[in-house]
Amino acid sequence: MEMIRLENLSVALGQFHLRNINLAVEKGEYVCIIGPTGAGKTVLIETIAGFHKPYKGRIILDGDDITSKPPEKRGISIVYQDYMLFPHMTVYENIAYGAKKKIRDKRILEEEIERIAHIMGISHLLNRKPETLSGGEQQRVAIARAIISKPKLLLMDEPFSALDTRTTEKLRDFVKRVATEYDLTIIHVTHDIVDVWSLADKVAIMNNGTIIQYGEVEEVFSKPADDFVAEFIDINILEGEITEVLGEMVLVKVGDTILRVKTNTTTGHRIRIFIRPEDIYISNTPPDYGPGCFRAVVEKILENGPYVQLFLSRNNIVLKAVLTRGYVRCLGLARGKHVYVYIRPENVRVAET
């Protein structure tokens, strides 16, 4: 069942335009919207919440056209990056504020607050003022306040952006749990690709006020619609020519390198292939895999926390790979070192152009 559908939604705010947004989210689905700063992500979800008026298009929520309904009549909750807990109310009062319009019975209200506080792990904080809470605690309260009245749709605008990595990981677990317990439909704006991987069923990539690509996470991440998306999700794009068909496998010539690719494109045309950085295997000795394995030079090593980004080059091709720090040390990788690169055929995606 479809919970929300945006049809050609267009919004103008000063110089900024949101153009022809189309998006459909099924009931219970978790959708992430990702894109660079200024893409219009906040404007988009605030339009869904009813804070900006679109000049074109419709918003259909649970079968109702809510395009011209005020925010308070929509049944859509919103969670912001900076929590927006009411400073003049306690944690309990904040959560109760979210429920009062739906739950009139005082005893049921208390039970519901107890339940959500338990799930979000904030039972011990109920009598505190928001300003005395840590960022992670405040955000859990904000989420509790947003969902206690069981909204049809939960919007979150970069909810983890003000939190450190540890806290973010913990919060992802809370969000996952509550999403199932309350059967939530969620649109979550983020700039962190990890959110997409760990939470979302579907992902929409936004840039310049439009949605460039929308689909299942696996699909979008393995077959980016254009160079912007590829760049943004950090995937390798290569162009090559199919030289030989071997059953359900083909050989693709990229420059002077031969890759094995699993696809049913059988023509001798040029194709674009995509390889995720984490799908590139590296070793010091030649693995006995035949074609699909080649030698390359380590061009650059970028340390990135626990992971290391490796730039490998072979003639005109540059490939980005991601390895753990320990593995890099174990292989003794350094700039200028020659290594063997292997890519499994099923990890190479093909765009049929």
Partner 1 sequence: MAFLKFSTLCIIIALMVSLILFSAFIALLVMITPTDFIRSLETKEMQYSLRLTITTSLTATFLAIIIGIPVAYALARKEFPGKNLVKTILDLPMAMPEIVLGITLLLLFGHTPLAQLLSMIGIKIVFSPLGIVVAQFFSALPYTLRILSSSYETINPRYELVSRSLGYGELETFVRITLPLSKAGLIASTAVAFARSVGAFGAVLILAGGIYMVTETLPITLYLNISYGNLSMAVSAGILLIIASFITIFIIEKMGGGKLWR
Ligand X SMILES: Nc1ncnc2c1ncn2[C@@H]1O[C@H](COP(=O)(O)OP(=O)(O)O)[C@@H](O)[C@H]1O
Q: Which DSSP state fits 69?
A: S
Q: Which residue has the tokens 């939530």?
A: 184
Q: Which of residues 33-92 bind partner 1 (CB under 8 A)?
A: 46, 49-51, 70-72, 74-78, 80, 82, 84, 86-88
Give the whole-angstrom CA distance, residue 345 versus residue 263.
Answer: 9
> Does position 184 bind partner 1 by CB under 8 A?
no
Half-sphere exposure (Cβ direction) of 246: Cα atoms closer than 13 Å: 11
> Does position 168 bind Mg ion by CB under 5 A?
no
**Nearest to ligand X of 33, 254 (CB atom):** 33
Q: Give the Cβ contact number of residue 81 at 10 Å.
A: 18
Helices (H), 213-261: 217-222, 227-232
In the list 31, 40, 42, 282, the residue contacting Mg ion (rule: CB under 5 A) is 42
Taking the complex as a whole, the smallest distance from the CB of residue 189 to partner 1 amounts, in Å, to 14
Q: Which two tokens stand for residue 67?
A: 């395009």
> Does position 41 bind ligand X by CB under 6 A?
yes
Dihedral sign from CA coordinates of 106, 107, 112, 118: positive
Taking the complex as a whole, the smallest distance from the CB of residue 87 to partner 1 amounts, in Å, to 6
**Nearest to Mg ion of 41, 276 (CB atom):** 41
**How many residues line the site for partner 1 (CB under 8 A)?**
25
Give the whole-angstrom CA distance, residue 252 versus residue 301.
Answer: 28
Cα 210 to Cα 22, 23, 76: the distances in Å are 9, 11, 22
> Does position 112 bind partner 1 by CB under 8 A?
no
> Does position 139 bind Mg ion by CB under 5 A?
no
**Nearest to ligand X of 14, 290 (CB atom):** 14
> Does position 230 bind partner 1 by CB under 8 A?
no
Give the whole-angstrom CA distance, residue 274 versus residue 222.
Answer: 7
Q: Which of residues 42-81 bind ligand X (CB under 6 A)?
A: 42-43
Binding site partner of 24, from partner 1, ligand X, Mg ion, none, Cβ cut-off 5-8 A by kind: none
Q: Which DSSP state fits 296?
A: E
* Mask for 6-35, x = binds ligand X (CB under 6 A): -------xx-x------------------x
**Nearest to ligand X of 161, 167 (CB atom):** 161
Return the percent helix, strand and coil in the chain, to nearest 5.
Answer: 30, 40, 35
Task: State which H helix or E strand residue 32 sits in.
Answer: strand 30-34
> Does position 81 bind Mg ion by CB under 5 A?
no
> Does position 47 bind Mg ion by CB under 5 A?
no
**Nearest to partner 1 of 55, 86 (CB atom):** 86
Q: Give the Cβ contact number of residue 212 at 10 Å.
A: 18
Taking the complex as a whole, the smallest distance from the CB of residue 73 to partner 1 amounts, in Å, to 8
What is residue 72's three-state secondary structure? helix
Q: By CB under 5 A, which span of 18-26, 38-46, 176-184, 201-209 interacts with Mg ion?
A: 38-46
Amino acid letter, residue 229:
V
Contact residues toward ligand X (CB under 6 A) are 13-14, 16, 35, 37-43
